[in-house]
Structure 1
Amino acid sequence: MASNSSNGCLWNLCLSLFKLIVSLGITIFIFWLIFRPSKPKAFIESARLAQFNLTNVHKPNASLTYNLTLNLSVHNPNKRISFYYDYIEAQAQYDGTQFGLDSNFPAFFQHHKDTTVLYPKFMGRAVGLGSVVSTTFEREKREGFFYVDLMVYCKVRIKVMFFKFGHFKPKFGCRLKLAEKPDGGFERTKCDVDF
């Protein structure tokens, strides 16, 4: 008799759990239908490479002197969802090696259908880049263009009506083709967004 009672309790528990999972799934689906969330879009609108020189070529202590300024536009395509950008960090990488870092961005709130422009700046000298970077540098210098990767790491909260949802960590990746000469022009570049 006790066995039938415990089987009945177990059955009721499983049934309640199943109903909860189905209800949660339906709620999430309805939320998605109403709000149609989309990840942000990012573009490098302009870039200027004023300096990009490598010394001690083909030696382990090769050093890169650089001066790179960018205009990065971040667009919120959503109609009913806003974003709080609490932290932003931009890293410049060359041939897989980070050479510059800029985390000097103010936190901001981005309304739906709004675009915010950020201005990452990288200026300084990076040492110990190695001989592999030297080979890439010499080849690209002959071609007249350098290929630099911009990685942007963020901490973002989402706002839907009056509700805020905890920190997400989207990442923007942008592959830039930069003319060796500062007046060589630049083509607007779309960034990959991993949300």
Structure 2
Amino acid sequence: MGKASTVSSLLCCPCRCLFCGVFGCLFSMLTCVFFSAGLVALVLYLLFRPHIIRATAVSADLSNFDLTARTWILHYNLSLAVQVRNPNKRIALRYHGVDAQAFYEGQRLVQAGLPDFFQDTGETSTLSPAFVGESPLVGGVAAAAFRREAAEGAAFSVNVKITAHLKLKLWVITVPGPKPKIDCPLKIQRRNATDGAGTPEFHPTECRVWF
């Protein structure tokens, strides 16, 4: 008898709150809401099987990367191509507010906006950010790192980060999505470091992607 009464109080509906007790009814409602949300999320996951996007830096050209003595002003001209792939079979992606930033020794060099684009299921798109300008290197650590890498073949460690806002197209429905962050740690040789032997070789680099 006691067990039946307990079960009845846990399964009460809002119409019987006066009889079940406010807290018991509230607990029952919250349990139903969480259970329903979890069930819907599981069904959607099994139906669409979402996968995280993939990104690869396939080419890069560092035509200028020089540090002015004493003032520590870094002059740079970097262009690269990053391929972004949508591996999903049932979810198309719409990117907007795409932004690319370049860093050297943790210091931001410049920011470059990129055009919005749409990516169908299984499609690969190429982003082509370009960074041209000059920036002061703050602190002696960054300047020392530049001198070391310049002496070791002029191959510099540049980090390129790309962010965007996503909208997910599920069949005919478009819903807001997460904000992907693409991090590409690159090792790029300055073009004039080859002494006229042509463009330095660049090895494609997998980028880290998270939300």
Q: Which runs of 4+ in 1 moved over 6 A?
A: none
Distance 1:8 1:26 in 2: 27
Greater share of strand: 1
Displacement of 1:85 in angstroms is: 0.5
Distance 1:9 1:152 in 2: 50
Instruction: Map 1:41-60; keep pairs closer than 5 Å.
Output: 41-56=54-69, 59=70
* 1:148 equivalenced with 2:158 (yes/no): yes
Q: Which amino acid aligns with 2:46?
A: L
Q: Which structure 2 residue ranges, 5 or more long, are not aligned?
A: 1-16, 193-198
**What's the RMSD between the two structures over aligned residues?**
1.7
SS of the counterpart of 2:84? strand
* 1:11 equivalenced with 2:39 (yes/no): no
Partner in structure 2 of residue 110 of structure 1: 119
1:74 to 84, 99, 121: 84
Q: Which structure 1 residue ranges, 5 or more long, are not aligned?
A: none
1:29 to 42, 50, 57: 42
SS of the counterpart of 1:78? coil
Distance 1:76 1:54 in 2: 39
* 1:39 equivalenced with 2:52 (yes/no): yes
Partner in structure 1 of residue 210 of structure 2: 194
SS of the counterpart of 1:30? helix
Q: Which amino acid aligns with 2:96?
A: D
Q: Which has the larger radius of gyration?
A: 2
TM-score, structure 1 as length reference: 0.89
Q: Which amino acid aligns with 2:100?
A: A
SS of the counterpart of 1:168? coil
Contact 1:63 1:129 in 2 (8 A): no
Q: Which has the higher contact order (CA 8 A, sep 6+)?
A: 1
Q: Could you tell me the percent identity over the aligned residues?
A: 34
